[in-house]
Amino acid sequence: MDISDELMVRVRAWLSYEYDKDTRERVQWLLENDQVTLQESFAGDLEFGTGGMRGIMGVGPNRLNIYTVGRATQGLANYLRKNYPTETELRVAIAYDCRNNSARFAEVTADTLAANGIRVFLYESLRPTPQLSFTVRTLSCHAGIVITASHNPKEYNGYKVYWGDGAQVVPPHDKGIIDEVRHLENAEAVKHKGDPSLIVRIGREIDEVYLSTLLDSPFCREKLSEAATEMGIVYTPIHGTGATLIPQVLRRRGFKNVHVVTKQRDPDGDFKTVVSPNPEESSAMSLAVALAEETQAALVLGTDPDADRVGVYARDAKGELVRFDGNQIAVLLAYFVLEREQELKRPRSKRFMVRTIVTTPLLDALAQAYKVEMRHVLTGFKYIAEEIAASEGKCRFVIGAEESHGYLVGDKVRDKDAVQSCLLLAEFAAWALAHGTNLCEELQRLYAKYGYWKHAQRALVRKGDEGKREIEERIRQLRTTPLTMLGEEKVVRVTDYLVVRAYNPQNQEEYAKPVLHADVMEFETEGGSRLLVRPSGTEPKIKYYLGIRAPRFDAQIEATLTARIEQIFNTIAE
């Protein structure tokens, strides 16, 4: 394939002696043997999306490596200096997950910050992402960084930046950091070899503060029943950071019968036992389910590599293990927290919940029933954190949820927290046991009271620049020729969050403009069902979120809705 002159300029820069020998040799090999990968590695620069800077590891400015990590860190350092010109000591906390190169990237990050005269608090070993958010707030840091690619495949890694409030960076900070990175002329503009005394290693002392804070929750103060303490729980960290804290917090709470999946307990950046380290997928939880059947455990919990997402199975009245999707977990957690707040007589005025626009509307029904304000935000937990910050001291945050298995209760952390979620789900299972029920029955009861939603998600994954163009074309087609039917239901409302327009495709009647702005299309039917479509902010794929509404739940309705969902997705695929 032909390589443009512009691309060759970028390639030659990485062949210079500003880069280490291994990097130069790899670039040269790609130039001579794999120009497709070369094109993708040098075609652009990694930028911050919904999860920060995330990408495939390798050489080049469009890959995660010690140089792109160094540049991002130098840009962050410059941005911090501009934002805090009078601070005598800037402070940044750093954590990292189990992925290949995560520890090395964390060391490079710490070294660059120290070279810029910034005090660094670097975890001595891998830790969960939510703990990094907590650490930023606990140590009064100006920013935080976690090296992780969350649940992405093993080829990926990432660099996620948090601001001083413990939340992921949002505008203007994310764009400000990228602008500073772009102003760096070359690799020599990145500082290295700072004063090692500026790097403080942290570990168990912060673990203790974090765990104590979780266990001090009002939902965890009552003594567990003897039956609850013996309740079997299986947990898998899927080779990730959750192993450092989750078994410990469950046992400290009083759960004695906690089993950890041995084959997935130890850190492994290759994730050898799974295709994808994502607890949203049943295949990633299969070893945990098998152990639960062997031990007859009542509850199965699994977390992704950085322990901010949780997967759940629980036994029903027949003794069979049932898998919950992300929306169902959100509903269960929200109900438990709201019901327990009522039982504990916690203040009920000026409370709010937050869900992303792709998360189940059943949460709205719960909010209304418990007289809690419900807010909707774009996909990305940083927008939930933004709502928490905006209401601090004015309105109490109860719970935030996104359908991709991420949840947060209370405001001590400012990102989704699977360590906390595992603790609260175990707490809910114990509470249900004391009331002669289980999580499955509690969910069925909520469906009977508030109505049933059947949710499903599909993703179309494409690789490289060609795949990116195909995804853009699919979104463009939906805008120019919007759907008018979802199966047998007529679409009566199309909301285009990018052009900020809502209208009826049947007669072009205009509705009030949406207040949110993003590259998302939403289609709502006369029966209340809806489809949302958006390109991923962290991976080369397009996501489809479908929710079909029914007045009640039973086996026949479930089968009917499942068939309708498949029909709709088949139509979209065509």
Distances (CA, A) of 201 to 79, 163, 205, 405: 24, 20, 11, 31
Dist. CA 69–CA 321, nearest whole Å: 43
Dist. CA 315–CA 351, nearest whole Å: 32
Q: What is the DSSP letter of 84?
A: -
Give the residue carrying structure tokens 């500026």. 198
Sequence-ordered list of residues with C-beta below 8 angstroms from that of 104, at least 6 positions apart, any chain:
66
Q: One of 41, 102, 133, 150 is an active-site residue; which one?
A: 150
- Residue 419's SS3 state is helix
Crossing angle for the helix pair 35-42 and 5-14, nearest 10 degrees?
Answer: 90
Which amino acid, 248?
Q
Crossing angle for the helix pair 35-42 and 21-33, nearest 10 degrees?
Answer: 120
CA dihedral sign, ordered 181, 11, 110, 102 = positive
Closest CA to 158 of 9, 272, 308: 308
Q: Is 349 a catalytic residue?
A: no
Are 413 and 133 in contact by the 8 Å Cβ rule? The answer is yes
My answer on whether omega of the bond before 279 falls inside 30° of 0, hence cis, is no
Which tokens sit at 49? 């999306």
Dist. CA 261–CA 240, nearest whole Å: 12
Alpha helical stretches, state H, 301-438: 326-343, 362-369, 381-390, 418-434
Are 267 and 240 in contact by the 8 Å Cβ rule? The answer is yes
Stated length of the chain: 574
Number of neighbouring beta carbons within 10 Å of residue 200: 13
Q: Annotated active-site positions, please?
A: 150
